[in-house]
Structure 1
Amino acid sequence: MSLSVLLLIFLLGVVTLLVGVGTLALLIHRPTWCGPLSGALAAMMLMATVIGLLATVTHG
């Protein structure tokens, strides 16, 4: 794998972890936001999956 693909995978992992930790902290402090936050988290995971698949297909 090239360096740019590895960097993209690493960056997606770091962003996913940061968003997950932020979501957990927000849910602990404001439990009423559970619905909108879970929808936003699902959308972010979908975008990360699509970007990862595109990187794999274009560089594979």
Structure 2
Amino acid sequence: MLIAEFLILPMGLIAIFLFDHSYVWIYLVFLFLFISIVINYVAFKTEKYEAFKKDS
């Protein structure tokens, strides 16, 4: 999960240098969305795993 963030970060920095500064906000929004999706996914997986452990 951290690897994915490290891959996205250089792309965002390149976009900042190549394009107008309005792209910075688009990138930040995308990054926050990505992080929240990852956190929700991990929480969901752990929840399912805990429930599965209880059943068996």
How many aligned positions are there? Answer: 49
Residue number in structure 2 paired with 1:18 = 7
TM-score (norm 2): 0.65
Q: State the Cα RMSD in Å.
A: 1.6
2:25 & 2:2 partners in 1: Cα distance? Answer: 24
Highest Rg: 1 or 2?
2
5+ residue gaps, structure 1, are 1-11
Query: Greater RCO between the two (CA within 8 Å, min separation 6)?
Result: 1
TM-score (norm 1): 0.62
**Percent same amino acid among aligned pairs?**
8
Task: Please identify runs of 4+ aligned residues in structure 1 that moved more than 6 A.
Answer: none
